[in-house]
Homo-oligomer: A and B are copies of this chain.
């Protein structure tokens, strides 16, 4: 058996998330069915982590075993020819047996996009959180966010009930910018705020809880020091609400 690693991009809008759930349209079920179609063999695909309904991926990493002799270039081309238009294979490579996309991941990076302009951007409606409570101060958010960088117990930013051995994670980078990453249909770039977080792992809904907390500071409803207080309290009830899924993108996953 060969082990194949794929890098996937998908638009999460019309998927019920990554993970197979009965008859619902999920990325995993769609990909497994397509692999079976091109290789003629059942496939079981693992991902670096689940993404929820509405969450997007620019570089999700997945792996599967196959007895197929098709080259990785042919696998990529054949999958892209057969996959629906909202998921695509950016790269395919053969990796050492035993490669596990979840357990072997060293770092993951997520991006969250907020639109804080007054009028909805029709082209970005599925790719951002339209924040309608007023203009955000990215400077205040960036200063407040520094409290989260480093190794901490992130219980305050974990949706309760998640089965994890530990809620300690290391955040390597957390940036907040009002940026020029705009483009087609983005209208005024200045109306978009991008938050990026890189860590050695993430608790369930951690990025969305961090975003929901930082906007409280960005809007001036809480002082900058509050974010550190929330972290130290290790109590989810103290943090901001969970930001909606459609603003979230899994950017990439690093291995060894």
Contacts and interface: CB of A to CB of B under 8 A. Distances in A.
Give the interface centre of A56, A123, A181 by most chain B CB atoms within 10 Å. Answer: A123
A51 to B, nearest CB: 13
Interface stretch (A42-50, A87-95, A134-142, A206-214): A87-95
Contact of A119 (B56, B90, B187): B90
Nearest to A58: B185
A1 to B, nearest CB: 27
Interface in A117-135: 119-125, 127-128
Give the interface centre of A121, A122, A186, A187 by most chain B CB atoms within 10 Å. Answer: A122
Given A88-B119, A120-B88, A127 B11 contact: no
Contact of A184 (B90, B113, B119): B113
A86 interface: yes
Interface string A179-201: 00111111101000000000000
Given A56-B185, A127-B185, A181-B183, A11 B122 contact: yes
Q: How many copies altogether?
A: 2
A interface, how many residues as a size bin? 20 to 34
A227 interface: no
A80 interface: yes
A27 to B, nearest CB: 11
Contacts of A120: 80, 85, 88
A249 to B, nearest CB: 8
Contacts of A145: none
Interface in A1-40: 9-11
Interface in A53-85: 56, 58, 80, 85
Contacts of A89: 119
20 contacts: A9-B121, A9-B122, A9-B185, A9-B187, A11-B185, A56-B123, A58-B185, A80-B119, A85-B122, A88-B120, A88-B122, A123-B127, A127-B185, A181-B183, A181-B184, A182-B183, A182-B184, A183-B184, A184-B186, A185-B249
Given A113-B184, A128-B184, A182-B184, 13 more contacts: A9-B185, A11-B125, A11-B185, A56-B123, A56-B185, A58-B187, A80-B119, A80-B120, A85-B125, A86-B125, A87-B122, A90-B119, A124-B184
